Structure 1
C-alpha cells in the first residue's frame, strides 16, 4: 500500500481534499531561500545539480587564476514548470492495517523529521497514492497537460551520484527528481507538469478526494 502526506494550512489542505490541485513554478522554491536567507526554507538550487569543491579547484589562464569553490548545472526553461510536492510514506513506515481502512497507521516520525515539518502548517492530509495519481493524470489528460511523477532521490554535493550527473548531462526529465541530501528528511514525492506559469496557480480540480484521504491535525500525524 502506498500513501502520500501533504502538510499545510488547514484552509489549503481542505481545498486539496476538495480536488483543487495548486502548484508552484520551480523558480518559486529557489526564490524562497533567497528571500528568507535560510537553507531549507526553499532551495536556491531547486532543479539544479549543485557541486561543491572542498579545497577549491584552481583555474588558470593567461591573465589570472581563480579558485572555484562550487558550480551548478541547470536549464532555465524548467524554471516555470509547475511542481507539486508531497511526503512519500515508504512501506516500512506502515503498521498492519485493516483492509477496510482508507488510511494506515503510520510509524512515528523521528526527531529530525519532526523538526523538518515543524513550520509546515497545522494540518496534514494522508492520501491513498495510486488512486490519487490515477485521477490526477486522467484529468490532466483532458486539458492536454503532461506530467511526470516520481520519488525524489538525494545526492551529496561533495560527491554527486554518477546517475545524477548522467541525468543532467543527457537532459533527461529524471534530473528534476534529484535534490541535495540536506533535504533527505523530506522524503519527497514530486509531480512536475508540462504547464508553465510565473506564479503559483490552481491548475485543475480533479473532484473531491475525501473517499481516498483523511485530514488530521499535524501534531497527531507527527506524534
Structure 2
C-alpha cells in the first residue's frame, strides 16, 4: 500500500498493464478528438458527440435554424430526437489525454466510490501523486521538443443534459451519461490540422505515480486513522 497525504487533483489513468508501464516511462499518447467519435463500444470510450460546439433543442429548432440560414421540412423535424448537435470541425484535431479525477476530501476523510464500469477501461491503473510536477514535465517537454502544438491546457470535464439548448460547449464538455467517468482532460491544440495522434515523451514519472490493480483500487482505497489515503499498488 502507498499513502497520499494531500494533493489536488488526484488523477488516475485506467488502462492495460502494458500502457500503464509505457505511461510510467513518460510516454503520453494523445488521440485527436475525432478518434473518439468513431469508437462503438457502448458509450465507454466512444462518443459520437465529441467536439460538439452547441446543441439546438427540439423546441428551439424553428427559432434558431432560420437565423443560421437553414430550414428543415416539417417531416424531417418530426424525426429529430434529442435536438441537433453542431459539431466543430476545428475541435476534431485537438489532441486529448483522458484521466479519471478521484473525488476525495482530505479534510473530512472522504473518498467517493469508483464506478465499477471503470473496469472496462482496463485492469490496471496509474495514479499521479503530484499533478503540479506532472504538468510541469509536460510543459517542459512541449517547450523543449519539436511538437506540433500551439497551446496546452488541462481541466475537468463538464457534463450537460441532452435536448437542452447550449452553445460554446467546447472540448471539455460531454453528455451527462458519461458523468460516472469523472473525467479530467489534458488537451493540446495543434499548429497544423492533422488527425494523427500526438505522442509526448516527458521522461520517467515513476517518482510521482503509483501502478496497481483496478479491481483492488475500487475495493481497497480508503482513509485510515492517520488521516492519510491509502492506495493498493503492485510491487514492480
1:153 alignment counterpart:
158
Once the two structures are superposed, what CA deviation does each residue of 1:175-220 show, in whole Å capped at 9, x if it has no partner? 211111111111111111123542434x221111110111001111
The one-character-per-residue Cα deviations of 1:126-178 (angstroms, maximum 9, x if unpaired) are 10212111111121122363212111111112335xxx52x35xxxxxx2111
Partner of 1:65: 74
Q: Aligned pair in 2 of structure 1 residues 180, 63: CA closer, same or farther (>3 Å)?
A: closer
Match of 2:197 among 197, 200, 205: 200
* Structure (1 or 2) with the larger CA radius of gyration: 2
Structure 1, 24-33 or 189-198: larger mean CA deviation: 189-198
Aligned-pair distance for 1:118? 2.0
Deviation at 1:75, TM superposition (A): 1.6
Q: CA deviation at 1:64?
A: 4.4
Quick one: distance in 2 between partners of 1:192 and 1:131? 17
CA 1:213 to 1:94, structure 2 compared with 1: closer, same or farther past 3 Å?
Answer: farther
Secondary structure class of the residue paired with 2:204 = coil
Query: Does 1:185 pair with 2:217?
Result: no
Unaligned 5+ residue runs, structure 2?
1-6, 220-236
Q: Which runs of 5+ in 1 are unaligned?
A: 97-105, 169-174
1:126 aligns with 2:127: yes
* 1:24-76 deviation per Cα after TM superposition (whole angstroms, max 9, x unaligned): 1111100003xx4x333410001114647468956999994232432012221
The two structures have a TM-score, normalised by structure 2, of: 0.72
Q: Tell me, yes or no, if the aligned pair for 2:98 and 2:186 is still in contact at 8 Å.
A: yes
In the TM superposition, 1:98-117 aligns within 5 A as: 107=111, 109-110=113-114, 113-115=115-117, 117=118
The number of residue pairs the alignment matches comes to 197
